[in-house]
Amino acid sequence: MFEVTFFILVVLYTLVSVKVDEWITISALGFKSETPMQFLQKPRLYDIVRLSLFLAAIAASFGMMAVPWYIGLVILVVIWLTAGSIGRKKALNKYRKILQEMMVYAESPEEQTEYKKASKKTDQELMEMVHASMKNRI
């Protein structure tokens, strides 16, 4: 019973966490229009939902019989680490795709060059932009 609950909670946590990290990153890069309005209005709500799913999965791991509880915790730690990375990677790819679309509709060659240059930035450079944006937001 707890194994099924644990599995469902881990899947839900993964899906929500990937999406929330994607929204946080893409909005920090300046494309808030790519996130749901509800997220923009109440971002803490999504953090609370994500945390609740994570804590519920931890609690369910202690009730599992077929799998030791510490294996469940290891699975959760791996999911926690990878979900954020996947969400950020998806946001960076979306950012580049948006800039490539903007290049097509640029009104001047200078604008087009600017968008092309921005779309060629490395993941590290984009993450530095995200961190700077987050630092300025606080």
Q: pLDDT digit string (tens) for 78-114?
A: 999 999 999 999 999 999 999 999 888 878 888 888 8
Domains held by the chain: number: 1
Q: What is the mean pLDDT of residues 37-55?
A: 94
pLDDT at position 137, please?
65
Residues counted in the chain: 138
pLDDT at position 67, please?
87
Comparing C-alpha atoms, which of 83, 59, 84 is closest to residue 72?
A: 59
pTM equals: 0.87
Q: Rounded to whole angstroms, what are the CA distances from 132 to 26, 60, 84, 125?
A: 13, 38, 18, 11
| pLDDT for 46 beyond 80 | yes
Q: Which helix (H) or strand (E) holds 69?
A: helix 69-104
Residue-range definition of the domain harbouring residue 52: 2-137
Q: What is the mean pLDDT of residues 23-50?
A: 93
Q: pLDDT digit string (tens) for 3-30?
A: 999 999 999 999 999 999 999 999 999 8
Comparing C-alpha atoms, which of 66, 20, 77 is closest to residue 46?
A: 20
Q: pLDDT digit string (tens) for 65-82?
A: 988 989 999 999 999 999
